[in-house]
Amino acid sequence: MNIQEHIITSLPTFDINDAAEKVLAFFHDTTYSHIAILEDGRFLGLFSEIDADGLIKGSSVEGFRYDLQSFFARRDTNWLDVLEVFARNEANLLPVLNEKEEVTGYYCLTDVVAEFIDTPFFTDPGSILVVAKGVKDYSFSEIAQIVESNNAKLFGGFITDTQNDVIQVTLKITANNYNKVVQTFRRYNYHIIFGNSDDEFLEDLKNRSDYLDKYLNV
C-alpha cells in the first residue's frame, strides 16, 4: 500500500514565535485536530485544537511551548504504524518529517483510512466473521487452521478489541462453507460476536424456541 502519494503539502506550519491570531485562524477555518510548530525551521511539536481555546490575542505560541505534543511519521513509516499513531493520539492530522526533522507535509486520517478500506480485505467478495476468546487461549495459527480445515480461505484478520483478557478478532473469509467454519469455531470454544451470513445454528435455536413456545401455549 502506497500512502506516500497522499502526503499533503498545501497545509501550513507555524513558528513558535508566531502570533496567536494566526493559529486561531487556522483552527477556525479547518476541522483539523493539530498543526505543526517549528523552531528554527525544525519540528518542535504539535499544537492541539483543544489548546486553541487558551490562546489570547496579542500573545504568541511560545507560551504553550511545554504543552506541545510530540508525535509524527516518517515518509517510510508503515501505513499500519501511521494508523496507530493517529489512534493513540486521537488526531486527524499527522506531520511527516525528513531526516533533518523538517516537516515535508501531512497525512490526513481520512485519506489513510480510505486507502485501507480500498484493500482486498474490504473490496473482495467474502464474509465477515468476528470471534472472541481468552487472550491466553487464542492463536492466529489456530484461527487459520479452523477456516482452512473447512475448505474456506482466510483473506485476513486483525484484532479489533481487547477487554478483560478477552480478545476480539475480525476475520474476512470466503463465503463457501461459512456455517461449517462457525460451528468449528464454537467447538474450539470461540464466541461468535458477529457474522454477516445466515448462521444455521442460531436459526435452529430460534426454530426450537418457537416450537417450545407453541407447545407451552397449547
Please report the DSSP string for 128-148 in residue order: EEEEEEETTT--HHHHHHHHH
Residue 148: per-residue pLDDT = 95
Q: Decide if pLDDT at 115 tops 70.
A: yes
Grid coordinates of 198: 445466515
Q: 18 and 92 share a domain?
A: yes
The reply to whether 212 falls in a domain is no
- Return the ∠ at Cα 135 (arms to 156 and 129), rounded to 5°: 35
Confidence of residue 218 (pLDDT cuts 50, 70, 90): very low
Q: 142 and 74 share a domain?
A: no
Residue 53: per-residue pLDDT = 81
Q: 76 and 58 share a domain?
A: yes
Please check whether residue 35 is in contact with residue 26, taking contact to mean a CB–CB distance below 8 angstroms: yes
Q: 97 and 163 share a domain?
A: no
Q: 70 and 137 share a domain?
A: no
Give the end of a domain, one of 83, 116, 149: 116
The reply to whether 209 falls in a domain is no
Alpha helix stretches (DSSP H) within the chain: 20-29, 79-89, 109-117, 120-123, 140-149, 178-187, 200-216
Q: Please write down the long-range contacts of 210-215, taking CB distance under 8 Å and 24 or more positions apart.
A: none
Give the end of a domain, one of 87, 116, 145: 116
Q: Decide if pLDDT at 206 tops 60.
A: no
Question: Once rounded to an integer, what is the mean pLDDT over residues 92-109?
Answer: 97
Q: 91 and 75 share a domain?
A: yes
Whole-Å CA distances, 95 to 57, 71, 73, 101: 26, 8, 6, 10
Q: 90 and 172 share a domain?
A: no
The domain that contains 102 carries what CATH number?
3.10.580.10
* 88 vs 17: CA distance, rounded Å: 28
Q: 136 and 184 share a domain?
A: yes
Question: Once rounded to an integer, what is the mean pLDDT over residues 45-67?
Answer: 89
How many domains does the structure of the chain reveal? 2
Q: 33 and 104 share a domain?
A: yes
Whole-Å CA distances, 213 to 29, 44, 208: 60, 68, 9
Q: Decide if pLDDT at 103 tops 80.
A: yes
Q: 27 and 66 share a domain?
A: yes
Say what the pTM is.
0.70
Between residues 205 and 49, which one has the greater pLDDT? 49
Q: Decide if pLDDT at 203 tops 60.
A: no
* 30 vs 96: CA distance, rounded Å: 19
Least confident of 47-51, 58-62, 118-122: 118-122
pLDDT, one tens digit per residue, over 27-50 is 999 999 999 999 999 999 999 999
* 134 vs 216: CA distance, rounded Å: 38
CB neighbour burial string for 20-53, b if at least 16 within 10 angstroms, e if fewer = beebeebbeeeebbbbbbbeeeebbbbbbbebbe
Residue 7: per-residue pLDDT = 96
Structural domain span for residue 192 = 120-197
Q: 105 and 9 share a domain?
A: yes
Residue 43: per-residue pLDDT = 98
Q: Decide if pLDDT at 52 tops 60.
A: yes
The reply to whether 204 falls in a domain is no
Closest to 137 measured CA to CA, from 189, 193, 65:
189
Residue 116 burial by Cβ neighbours in a 10 Å radius (0-12, 13-18, 19+): middle
Q: Decide if pLDDT at 97 tops 50.
A: yes
Q: 29 and 96 share a domain?
A: yes
The domain that contains 185 carries what CATH number?
3.30.70.260
Residue 211: per-residue pLDDT = 53
pLDDT, one tens digit per residue, over 150-201 is 999 998 888 888 888 999 998 999 888 898 999 999 999 999 988 755 455 4
